[in-house]
Homo-oligomer: A and B are copies of this chain.
Amino acid sequence: MSSKEKLECLIKQQGDLVRKLKSAKESKEKNSNSISFHSNISEKHLVALNNFLSSESYICGFWPTKADQELFELLTTKSCSNFDQYAHICRWYNHIKSYSKNEQMSFMSPSNDSLKNIQKVFLDCQIDNEVAKLLELKAQLSCENGDASNEVQKFILKTPKGTRDFSPQQMAIRESVFQKIVAVFKRHGAETIDTPIFELKDVLTGKYGEDSKLIYDLKDQGGEILSLRYDLTVPFARYLAMNKITNIKRYHIAKVYRRDNPSIARGRYREFYQCDFDIAGTYDLMIPDAECVRVVQEILESLDLGPFVIKLNHRLLLDGMFEACGVPPENFRSICSAVDKLDKSPWEEVRKEMVEEKGLPGDVADKIGHYVRMSGKTELVEKLLDDPNLTKIRSAVEGLEAMKLLLHYCELLGVNKKVVFDLSLARGLDYYTGVIYEAVLQGDSQEDGATSVGSIAGGGRYDNLVGMFDAKHKQVPCVGVSIGIERIFAVIEAKLFAAQNKVRTTEIEVFVASAQKNLLDHRMKLCKELWDEGFKVEQSYKKNPKLLAQLQHCEEAGIPLAVIIGESEIQKGVVKLREVTTRNEVEVPKDRLGDEIRKRLHFNMNGST
């Protein structure tokens, strides 16, 4: 069957499904007798439900019914989303939650008639979803047929595969995480640079081995041949070589692009942030390398992600160990990439790959197995320095001496408790030439079940990369770490969701409200005065908003203070100042308003920290 025929077949199936749903909707409208919220809860459902609840107190009319209880259960068990964006769902959900389980179970059944509305909402959503799928299939077909400007396509609104928008909630979390990370970088004197999002394709060529196929190329529209950057390290090396910079300590937080198969569930996207800290320059052995470990530790501690460990190893030691075990030099890299899998696979599997796939003699593999299952601290280095198999290999000794020094510096910098010298740490990238790092979160992967997060930072020394860009191959030694920022976001978002913490997306301190009609001019003047004093202030953009709507907005948005004006207040030259959480109100003379607000904000800030 050609891909076109397959598509046509899929379109037919999908069309049938849509027709079935539509007829089900019609029959439900005539005669509905079950509650049945069995569809998957998508964002679309939540939007529709929120809309529904904006004008309905309960799912079926004016009192809670079994329908409320059933939907409440569904939302709770699916934990399908944070309701922050859905004020009306939030209101309803918290209200239903306030009933005890027993009370909930004694809700009466809704009438068939009163169920129709919500069922229509859910069925509409499901139909919308399936229609969207149908349209997408049709669009694919029309692409295959070559008529790209097909009408149908216009209505597929999505971001490109493997990419996503960030909502204000997500951005607020990202900003606070970036702030903490940047604070650490700055504490260590790092500067920041920026480079274009695309590079001449030649700059990227030959740097990523097999992964080069994942590079996004721009269309040749006349002019230069360009590609989107794949990481921040190669552009950094290009920047150093181009500007003949021989020493710099820089961080760079920016998006990179990989045409990988996105696994959204595992937090892998095609557009994602990298967050790199690198020290370039010819310095004494292991001094900048140790500071990178300290930087990782400070970041992970300041983000409070739970227990972690920073694994250390050294490329020279790995190579020396392979040599000592009898691996032919041309196989070092491929055996290295097998060792790299030890964090996910047991030794037996890795051994199998070495022997069966990569043709290593079994006894050589066993010798490797002896070493790569070792981990420890300085005492392990000392032990290995007594191993005659290793000490006869120069690079092994060099690597071990370097590790010893690094561990000594780690102790001086107070990071010895978090580091472990781990001979199984290999890291895939070819360009590492010295120390390699990897930080992993530990424990509670059983508890929260979903995500065994694993590696959240990694890096190493790469002394030869900059030279690849220099006409005379002049080297600039570099060492750095990359913080796995997307994984960190995923962990923090999950934590906040689990704790049902509300994330404020604005910093508004004062809302200016009116108690009666026709006070817009007064509100505007008051906003002006408060902005002039530097307060973060907003008001309704409606001419005559309802007081209740204004106060509800304050509560939903977490705004601490509201200033309320009314005719009588204006005549008396006062305003009402309301603390939103306590709902306490005091009358304040207008000329003392700024001071009173400052006093309360100051108190709030001190109270909450």
Q: Which residue of chain B is the closest to A192 with respect to CB atoms? A: B171
Interfacial residues, chain A to chain B (CB-CB below 8 A) = 43, 47, 148, 153-161, 163-168, 171-172, 175, 186-200, 202-203, 216-221, 223-226, 228, 238-239, 241-244, 248-250, 255, 257, 259, 271, 279, 281, 283-284, 287-288, 290-291, 294, 298, 409, 412-414, 469, 471, 505-508, 520-521, 524-525, 527-528, 531-532, 534-538, 541-543
Q: Which residue of chain B is the closest to A471 with respect to CB atoms? A: B155
- The contact of A168 among B192, B271, B284, B520, by CB within 8 Å, is B192
Bound CA–CA A257/B223 (angstroms) = 15
Docked-complex contact A186 and B506, CB < 8 angstroms: yes
- List the B side residues contacting A248 at CB < 8 Å: 168
Measured CB to CB, the closest approach of chain B to A563, in angstroms, equals 14
Docked-complex contact A157 and B238, CB < 8 angstroms: yes
- The contact of A167 among B165, B187, B188, B193, by CB within 8 Å, is B193
Bound CA–CA A160/B202 (angstroms) = 11
Interface pairs (10), CB distance under 8 Å = A159-B199, A159-B242, A160-B226, A168-B248, A187-B537, A190-B506, A197-B271, A217-B219, A218-B228, A409-B524
Docked-complex contact A159 and B536, CB < 8 angstroms: no
- List the B side residues contacting A157 at CB < 8 Å: 203, 238, 241-242, 469
In the A-B complex, the 6 residue pairs with the smallest Cβ-Cβ separation, listed nearest first, are A168-B191, A283-B541, A163-B196, A189-B538, A412-B524, A217-B219
Measured CB to CB, the closest approach of chain B to A252, in angstroms, equals 9
- List the B side residues contacting A506 at CB < 8 Å: 186, 189-191
Bound CA–CA A243/B221 (angstroms) = 33
Q: How many copies does the complex hold?
A: 2
Docked-complex contact A541 and B160, CB < 8 angstroms: no
Interface residues of A, dominant DSSP: mixed
Given contact pairs A156-B200, A160-B199, A187-B537, a sample of 7 additional A-B residue pairs in the complex whose CB atoms are under 8 Å apart: A165-B242, A165-B243, A168-B193, A171-B191, A189-B538, A216-B218, A219-B219
Bound CA–CA A255/B255 (angstroms) = 11
- The contact of A244 among B47, B197, B287, by CB within 8 Å, is B47
Given A157-B238, A191-B171, A507-B186: A259 and B221 interface contact (C-beta under 8 Å): yes
- List the B side residues contacting A279 at CB < 8 Å: 541
Docked-complex contact A197 and B196, CB < 8 angstroms: no
Bound CA–CA A220/B217 (angstroms) = 8
Docked-complex contact B242 and A158, CB < 8 angstroms: yes
Docked-complex contact A287 and B192, CB < 8 angstroms: no
Measured CB to CB, the closest approach of chain B to A142, in angstroms, equals 12
> Which of the listed residues A175, A193, A249, A255 has the most CB atoms from chain B within 10 Å of its own CB?
A193
Bound CA–CA A226/B217 (angstroms) = 11
- List the B side residues contacting A155 at CB < 8 Å: 471
- List the B side residues contacting A409 at CB < 8 Å: 524
- List the B side residues contacting A259 at CB < 8 Å: 221, 223
Given A409-B524, A505-B191: A541 and B288 interface contact (C-beta under 8 Å): yes
Docked-complex contact A171 and B195, CB < 8 angstroms: no
- List the B side residues contacting A191 at CB < 8 Å: 168, 171-172, 505-506
- List the B side residues contacting A244 at CB < 8 Å: 47
Given A159-B196, A196-B271, A409-B524: A221 and B217 interface contact (C-beta under 8 Å): yes
Bound CA–CA A50/B163 (angstroms) = 45
